[in-house]
Chain A
Amino acid sequence: MHTEAEPSSLEAYDEMIDASGRPRPGMGTVSDVLTALGPEGLAERARLRDAYLDRQGITFSLSGRERPLPLDLVPRVVGAEEWDRVEAGIRQRIKALELFLADVYGPGEVLNDGIVPRRLVTTSNHYHRAAFGLVPPNGVRIAVAGIDLIRDEVGEFRVLEDNLRCPSGVSYVLENRRTLAHVLPEVFAGQQVRSVAEYPERLLDALRAAAPSDVSDPTIAVLTPGVHNSAHFEHAFLARRMGAELVEGRDLFCRDDRLWMRTVRGARPIHVLYRRIDDEYLDPVHFEPASLLGVPGLLNAARAGNVAIANAVGNGVADDKAIYPYVPDMIAYYLGEQALLPNVMTYDLSDADQRRHVIERLDHMVVKPVDGSGGYGLVIGSSATEAQLVAAAAAIEADPRSWIAQPIVTLSTCPTLVGESALEPRHVDLRPFAVNDGDNVYVLPGGLTRVALPKGSLVVNSSQGGGSKDTWVLDEGSRAPDGEGRATPPRVTRVRRSAVARHHAPATADDRLRQQEGQQQQSSPAAGVPQSVPDEVATPC
């Protein structure tokens, strides 16, 4: 698994233009529209976008300051066939990861069989004994996953990391689409982009399916750390779009192994808690005792089967970056299949040989903390200073289990608006979102494309100043109208309802006078009233 040859430094894959300089499939319209707009048109649209985002208050907090997530005007396009492969790969991965979690919090066969080293699981900071034997009502631990993908130098999608705890960003996917349609409608012309709007419904279905089996109409709540959390916009967005309650720890309490919220009509039970706070803060009885964000007694209520927690407690062991290299093996072990989406080559630094190999060529490596996220603690060898490299080497030697290393992969690039009106290539990744309702894994078509805005930067995290792009998956039907693929959508016919006459206030003498003057001046038959709808014209008086 670790024997793959290290890719030599190749040119980044260009998402818009192919090797011969022609736009890739689906990028033709986008490219034409951008050319037609010209620099001034682009700058104008950028202003329109900023005003729109500002007014909507679509923001995230960056180091304490509230700001709009920078949305680039140029969409990123993924072809239909390519997407089918990505989707299948994500489904497969989530199935295997679910089985892995059920296994390590249960019989532990994958460890007994030596597929995944036991030491990596037991030393993971996110392997929680409090979750051992805690089986969710419908067995689903990964209700929502965000699988980070990158395109390597030859254009192949690879998994960079799995996010199985509280992946965020999906609200921006929906809002980006809405915003782009608002400020740059013409890029949508002539092609069908697969909709992302149904995500909240899919999530709600999955959360309802997760409810304890004796509850027929479950109450769903989204647990947020509060308004100062960087992702609060998203928490509120999802709660609103699902019609669920948005709760904070102080709204909740546990009694008799049940979870309750304080309402103006007294205490009301909650059956499914879609929590967007980390395990460590979830329940002070089992974790961080000083936490005010969570609810004391929540885990006991879950263990008693009275409330479902999504995502499940302890998922972090499966997205631990030191476990990540073993996911292809899990897929082979549990499903008997080969991984459809390859990993990025990764070194296990607890192995002395691999560690030496890495430290010798640190300037060609990316070093990441195993349980970090948001790009914090990341060291990119090629752009690090000598002092940073020395510090990284020392940190690895001191605690090899806390780090992984990967050869630097040059992320693919997309044209991106830089400054007022210039288009330049910038590196991008892709985070598709998947929702597991126990029967099916729904993969949101597209996902969040994050773009590294500084020139040449490979760090796309929004917490590191990254931006985002609307991400399109083209619908096959529209690309090949005569083709075999999908059935053409049924034609919608307009149903004509009988017209209801509109009432107008009786005109006063003054009005009548003015109206007659107006009619005398306006020779056109329309006179401000559509003639084709005679029912709607009320005769004066």
Chain B
Amino acid sequence: MLSRLAESFYWIGRYLERAEATARLLAEHYHLTVEDRSVPEDIAAAVVLDALTLPHEIVHTPTELVRALLGDVSNPSTVIGSVGAARENARSVRDALSGDVFEALNGAYLTLTRGLTAAASPGASMYRVLERLMVVNGAIEWTMSRDEGHYFLSLGRSLERIDMTGRLLDVRHDLVWPDTGPVATLRAAAALSPFLRTGEAPTGEAVREFLVLDPTFPRSMLHSARAAESAVRGLQTLGGVDDGDLVRQVGLMRSRLEFAGGLEDSSAVDHLAHDTQLSGVGAAAAVAEAYFRQAGTIVWSH
């Protein structure tokens, strides 16, 4: 597979995951702030924007927050911007995608850019976005061969998921809304029922530990790190040019989570979450180094 194609697949994975995680966070956050008015609206908006490292000068109300995060094609940190960026990448690798994946992604983009109005019911709009993204992910899982393209897509998705789970934890729903916050965090990660089945009470601490260390929930950091490791090992098996640095970095990230065991207090979990998020950034740089920017190529100059 061409390096350029691989890079596009990787970014399709990242942007789709970013769009989905942002939309989930936004939908849940909107409901939370409508139902629980204990926190001033501008502060409620600011904690989300801070976690996503977006400027928050002009955002004061829940509706403004929805509008800002739904965004537009010019900002790839927003929902529409991410889907637009995923579609741009898909256009350039269209020959290597299954028709279903492209159509689903194109359809999602059209739904978002035409006639999706945040004003009427921001929550309903977000659910519509999520529904479309599920169709895209279904098409990816059911129609793409498990070759390099899928590995790169899945690697991008896993690394982005680690990052977005970290950001979700950074919102600190549990501190800002002590009563309703922990459940809101779970909902924003689509983790409410999986968590409740563990039998634990949804305290801030238990929720944070679940999202970092649960071995079976697909959005936990541990599960995402395992998925990332499996993708980089798969690439190596197929003859990828990775010299081992990428596998080492991702493997270390996964083992730190895997063998963390017996963490005494919640600050240890938070440290681990933060370190994992940074490892994810390091791994992303190693992916680019190994696969997207190969050294030793001839450059023409005149």
Task: Tell me the A residues contacting B by CB distance below 8 Å.
Answer: 54-57, 222, 226-227, 232-233, 235-237, 239-240, 244-248, 250-251, 253-255, 261-266, 284-285, 289-290, 296
| Residue from the list A222, A227, A289 in contact with B91, Cβ < 8 A | A227
Contact in complex: A253, B297 (CB < 8 Å)? yes
A55 to B139 CA separation, bound complex (whole angstroms): 15
Interface presence of B4 (CB below 8 A): yes
Are the CB atoms of B3 and A264 closer together than 8 Å? yes
Contacting pair A284 B3 (CB below 8 A): no
In the bound complex, residues from chain B placing their C-beta under 8 Å from that of A56 are 103, 106
What residues of B have a CB within 8 angstroms of the CB of A289 in the complex? 302
Task: Report 22 cross-chain contacts, Cβ distance below 8 Å, ordered by A residue.
Answer: A56-B103, A56-B106, A222-B95, A227-B91, A233-B94, A235-B95, A240-B95, A246-B95, A247-B2, A250-B4, A251-B2, A253-B297, A253-B298, A254-B298, A255-B298, A262-B2, A263-B3, A264-B6, A264-B241, A265-B1, A284-B300, A289-B302
B185: min CB distance to chain A, Å: 35
- What residues of chain B lie closer than 8 Å to A261, measured between beta carbons? 2
- Given contacts A222-B95, A240-B96, list 12 more A-B pairs with CB under 8 A: A54-B110, A55-B103, A56-B103, A57-B91, A57-B106, A227-B92, A236-B91, A254-B298, A263-B2, A264-B240, A265-B241, A296-B300
B148 part of interface (Cβ distance < 8 Å): yes
Does B195 reach chain A (CB closer than 8 Å)?
A: no
* Chain A residues whose C-beta falls within 8 Å of the C-beta of B95 in the assembled complex: 222, 235-237, 239-240, 244, 246
Q: How far is the CB of B103 from chain A (nearest CB, A)?
A: 6
Name the B residues within 8 Å of A55 (CB-CB): 103, 106-107, 110
Question: Does B262 lie at the interface of the complex (its beta carbon under 8 Å from any beta carbon of A)?
Answer: no
Q: Does B88 contact A (CB under 8 A)?
A: yes
- B235 lies within 8 A of chain A by Cβ: yes
Closest A residue to B8 using CB positions: A227
> A246 — which chain B residues lie within 8 A by C-beta?
93, 95-96
Residues of B within 8 A of A284 (CB): 300, 302
Asked whether B235 lies within 8 Å of A264 as measured between CB atoms, the reply is yes
User: In whole angstroms, how far apart are the Cα atoms of A141 and B106 in the complex?
Assistant: 38
Of all chain A residues, which has the CB nearest B104? A55
Chain A interface main SS type:
mixed
- Find chain B residues with CB under 8 A from A265 CB: 1, 238-241
Shortest C-beta distance, B300 to chain A (Å), equals: 4
How far is B92's CA from A247's CA once the two chains are assembled, in angstroms?
A: 10
Answer yes or no: B291 CB below 8 A from chain A CBs.
yes
Q: Is B38 positioned at the interface, with any CB of A under 8 Å from its CB?
A: no
Nearest-CB distance from B244 to chain A (Å)?
15
Q: Which residues of A contact B2 (CB under 8 A)?
A: 245, 247, 251, 261-264
Bound state CA distance, A261 and B298, in angstroms? 12
- How far apart sit A254 and B148, CA to CA, in the bound complex (Å)? 25
Report B-chain residues with C-beta under 8 Å of the C-beta of A226: 92
Candidate in B3, B95, B152, B238 with the most chain A CB atoms within 10 angstroms: B95
Determine the residue in chain A with the shortest Cβ distance to B297. A253
Q: How far is A55 from B99 in the complex, measured between Cα atoms in Å?
A: 11
Min CB–CB distance B128 → chain A (angstroms): 16
The 10 closest A-B pairs by CB, nearest first: A240-B95, A296-B300, A239-B95, A236-B94, A246-B95, A236-B95, A57-B106, A227-B92, A265-B239, A289-B302
Partner of B148, one of A245, A253, A264: A264
Is the CB of B294 closer than 8 A to any CB of chain A? yes
Chain A hits for B240, CB < 8 A: 264-265
In the complex, per-residue mask of B77-91: 1 if CB is within 8 Å of any chain A CB, else 0: 000000000001001
Q: Is the CB of B3 within 8 A of A240?
A: no
Q: What's the minimum C-beta distance from B233 to chain A, rounded to whole angstroms?
A: 14
Residue B11 interfacial (CB < 8 Å): no
Chain A proximity of B4: nearest CB distance (Å): 5
In the bound complex, residues from chain B placing their C-beta under 8 Å from that of A233 are 94
Bound complex: CA of A227 vs CA of B302, how far in Å?
26
Q: Within 8 Å CB of A248, what residues of B?
A: 4
Select one of B4, B91, B241, B302 contacting A251, CB under 8 A.
B4
* Cβ-based interface call for B30 (8 A): no
For the complex, is B15 an interface residue (Cβ under 8 Å from A)?
Answer: no
Expressed in whole angstroms, the Cα–Cα distance for A211 and B121 within the complex equals: 59
Q: Which of B298, B300, B302 has the most CB of A within 10 A?
A: B300
Q: In the bound complex, what is the Cα–Cα distance between A222 and B4 (angstroms)?
A: 14
Interface residues of B in 1-26 (CB under 8 A from A): 1-4, 6
B291 contacts A264, CB within 8 Å? yes
* Docked complex Cα distance between A239 and B238 (Å): 23
Do the beta carbons of A232 and B91 come within 8 Å of each other? yes
Distance (whole angstroms) from the CB of A47 to the closest CB of chain B: 15
What's the Cα separation between A236 and B235 when bound, in Å? Answer: 25
Our pick among B3, B103, B110 for the contact of A262 (Cβ within 8 Å) is B3
The distance from the CB of A287 to the nearest CB of chain B, in whole angstroms, is 12
CA distance A55 to B106 in the complex (A): 6
Chain A residues with CB below 8 A from B210, complex form: none
